[in-house]
Chain A
Amino acid sequence: MVLMSLFLFASSVRADYVLPYPSYMPGNKLYKLTRIIDQLKKYWYFGDIAQEKYHLQLTDKYLVEAKTLFEYKQYLLGADALSRSDQQFRQLPKNSLTHEAAVKHGEVLSQLLTIVPDEFNWSPEKSASTTLHLKDLLTASIEIRRLW
């Protein structure tokens, strides 16, 4: 009876998909170096399985970078990081691992929808202004992930 009850009331355990800690942010001395290393790693991560790991690693990294930048109201830089995350995500095959990543990314992006303005006008001193349709960008990113 005791053994049966263990089976009846046992709960399954699974680990959540975990995003990495934020890496160097734009403005840090080492930021440009990390971007170069990210590009060079493409050659080290040869093979289909390693390539999947590479793209997954970078899509996660750039998503976290975008999230951090949006939270600090650095919308232009955040939008750039988000587009890089989307670019990496599109390279991923459709399987159970990338589906988990897609679900997690969707959660993060949905949360960002609640904290960013609909639009933001970036007006640098010596060049033309740019209007960022932030909610549209985030919605498009969520849609990309939804397909996985």
Chain B
Amino acid sequence: MVIIYFISVLALGFLSYGFVDPHLWTKFGYFAYNFRPEFSIAFFILLVLLFSLYVYFLKHNPKIWLIPVSAIILVFSYPALTYDLFNYIATAKVLYSHHENPYLVMPMEIPNEPNLAFTRAANKVALYGPVWIAITAIPHYLGGGNIWATLLLYKAMNTFVYLLFGSVIWRMTKNMKNVIFFMLNPLVLIEVIMNAHNDIFMMILALGALIVWQQKKYMYACALFVASWFIKEATIVLLPLFFIKNITLENAMVWSYVLLSGVFFVAAPLREELYPWYAVWLVATAALLPLKSHRFIFWFTIVLSFALELRNLPYMWMGYYEGPGPTLRLLFTIVPVGVFLLVYLLKGKRLPV
């Protein structure tokens, strides 16, 4: 199983280079776009394999080294499913190279900026808080202006926080299943390491704040919590939890899950769309719960993770977002979740954890 798993992770990393922007690598740019159905089917098969093996490893704890090795393989993958990482790079460049205020100046306003050739949505000012802008100084300066080095450094930075959060899970739960639940979740591997979204930074700070608040270190908790807002403001919904007296950590995590689900399912689609990487918030929160006592959250999160990664398929196959895209994305999300809800209604507490 471990060998099949590593082959799947390697295949995912290899496949990701089919989506390289042609302005980054002229010879192989958008290679996958000439074989859309084939790549889409391959991606679907990999998703099924990775999620199946994920569930298998949840039952049969694998060796711990599986986690860092998977992470290292994906550090060298290409951020195939999103252009957000290029926006992070462009925004950092606006501030640190061009010395302009990224909250006022868009990347596309910088004359002759070469990064614009492979940056989408360059017509937006910085979308994230100043703490994230400060964090991006690290890969910006260490990357030395080399786009490939900078990409790698962002992913390495994400991997460091991913491993750090894994250690937090272990310290809090002392349960390897919880660690694997988060660290081998294919959505987490894809969105945090391969695509290098910054949600892991927001979550480690917010959940860390809740943990530290429970330990009565109120100043540290406030600092961590405010820092998480100044990455992405989604965790502001967790503020009421700090005012509930005598709330246990478990209840705080359950309510965090509920509140973040509200943002995820209601606010996010109203604002723009249900993005798969937002589920990192839910997987991270659920990983801190005693999973045996929260079967619904355990299984719902796994099924949701799978359903959300399926949302990449319509664009991957068709090459555009419109047309049947929105309906297909909705179906890919609703059907697996709907089937799970039906199964849970029928089997409920008999579902294994």
Across the two chains, which residue of chain A brings its CB closest to B110?
A49
Q: Which of B98, B101, B109 contacts A44 (CB 8 A)?
A: B101
Find residues 41-99 in chain B having any chain A CB closer than 8 Å to their own CB: 98-99
Type the 1/0 row for A21-53, where 1 means its CB is closer than 8 Å to any CB of B: 000000000000000000000001111111001
| In the assembled complex, B100 has its CB within 8 A of some CB on chain A | yes
Complex alpha-carbon distance, A49 and B109, angstroms? 8
Main secondary structure, interface of B, reads loop
| In the assembled complex, B105 has its CB within 8 A of some CB on chain A | yes
List chain A residues, Cβ under 8 A from B99.
Answer: 46-47
What is the distance, in angstroms, from A15's C-beta to the closest C-beta of chain B?
Answer: 16
What is the distance, in angstroms, from A46's C-beta to the closest C-beta of chain B?
Answer: 6
Complex alpha-carbon distance, A53 and B105, angstroms? 9
| In the assembled complex, B345 has its CB within 8 A of some CB on chain A | no
Q: How large is the interface on B (under 10, 10 to 19, 20 to 34, 35 or more residues)?
A: under 10
List chain A residues, Cβ under 8 A from B104.
Answer: 44-45, 47, 49-50, 53
List chain B residues, Cβ under 8 A from A48.
Answer: 100
Complex alpha-carbon distance, A53 and B106, angstroms? 12
List chain B residues, Cβ under 8 A from A49.
Answer: 98, 100, 104-105, 109-110
List chain B residues, Cβ under 8 A from A50.
Answer: 100-101, 104-105
What is the distance, in angstroms, from B321's C-beta to the closest C-beta of chain A?
Answer: 27
List chain B residues, Cβ under 8 A from A53.
Answer: 104-105
What is the distance, in angstroms, from A101's C-beta to the closest C-beta of chain B?
Answer: 16
Main secondary structure, interface of A, reads helix
Q: How large is the interface on A (under 10, 10 to 19, 20 to 34, 35 or more residues)?
A: under 10
List chain A residues, Cβ under 8 A from B109.
Answer: 49
List chain B residues, Cβ under 8 A from A47.
Answer: 98-101, 104-105
Complex alpha-carbon distance, A53 and B101, angstroms? 11
Complex alpha-carbon distance, A45 and B105, angstroms? 9
Find residues 56-106 in chain A having any chain B CB closer than 8 Å to their own CB: none
Complex alpha-carbon distance, A48 and B105, angstroms? 10
Across the two chains, which residue of chain A brings its CB closest to B106?
A49
What is the distance, in angstroms, from A81's C-beta to the closest C-beta of chain B?
Answer: 24
Across the two chains, which residue of chain A brings its CB closest to B103?
A44
What is the distance, in angstroms, from A37's C-beta to the closest C-beta of chain B?
Answer: 15
Complex alpha-carbon distance, A49 and B105, angstroms? 7
What is the distance, in angstroms, from B111's C-beta to the closest C-beta of chain A?
Answer: 9
What is the distance, in angstroms, from B348's C-beta to the closest C-beta of chain A?
Answer: 55
Find residues 90-133 in chain B having any chain A CB closer than 8 Å to their own CB: 98-101, 104-105, 109-110
Complex alpha-carbon distance, A44 and B100, angstroms? 10
Complex alpha-carbon distance, A49 and B100, angstroms? 7
What is the distance, in angstroms, from B93's C-beta to the closest C-beta of chain A?
Answer: 12
Across the two chains, which residue of chain B brings its CB closest to A54?
B104
What is the distance, in angstroms, from B105's C-beta to the closest C-beta of chain A?
Answer: 5
B98, B104, B109, B110: most-surrounded residue (chain A CB, <10 A): B104
Across the two chains, which residue of chain A brings its CB closest to B104?
A50
Complex alpha-carbon distance, A106 and B259, angstroms? 55
Across the two chains, which residue of chain B brings its CB closest to A41?
B104
Across the two chains, which residue of chain A brings its CB closest to B99?
A47
List chain A residues, Cβ under 8 A from B105.
Answer: 47, 49-50, 53
Complex alpha-carbon distance, A46 and B96, angstroms? 12
List chain A residues, Cβ under 8 A from B101.
Answer: 44-47, 50
Complex alpha-carbon distance, A47 and B97, angstroms? 11
List chain B residues, Cβ under 8 A from A46.
Answer: 99-101
A46, A49, A53: most-surrounded residue (chain B CB, <10 A): A49
Across the two chains, which residue of chain A brings its CB closest to B98?
A47
Complex alpha-carbon distance, A49 and B104, angstroms? 9
What is the distance, in angstroms, from A24's C-beta to the closest C-beta of chain B?
Answer: 22
Complex alpha-carbon distance, A53 and B104, angstroms? 9
Complex alpha-carbon distance, A36 and B110, angstroms? 29
What is the distance, in angstroms, from A45's C-beta to the closest C-beta of chain B?
Answer: 6
Complex alpha-carbon distance, A49 and B110, angstroms? 8
Complex alpha-carbon distance, A53 and B103, angstroms? 12
List chain A residues, Cβ under 8 A from B100.
Answer: 46-50
Complex alpha-carbon distance, A44 and B105, angstroms? 12
Complex alpha-carbon distance, A50 and B104, angstroms? 6
10 A-B residue pairs with Cβ-Cβ distance under 8 Å, sorted by A, are: A45-B104, A46-B99, A47-B98, A47-B101, A47-B105, A49-B110, A50-B101, A50-B104, A50-B105, A53-B104
Binding site for A on B (CB under 8 A): 98-101, 104-105, 109-110
Binding site for B on A (CB under 8 A): 44-50, 53
For the complex with contacts A47-B98, A50-B101, 9 further pairs of A-B residues with Cβ separation under 8 Å are A45-B101, A46-B100, A46-B101, A47-B101, A47-B104, A47-B105, A49-B104, A49-B110, A53-B104
Closest 7 CB pairs of A and B: A47-B100, A50-B104, A50-B101, A49-B105, A47-B99, A49-B100, A50-B105
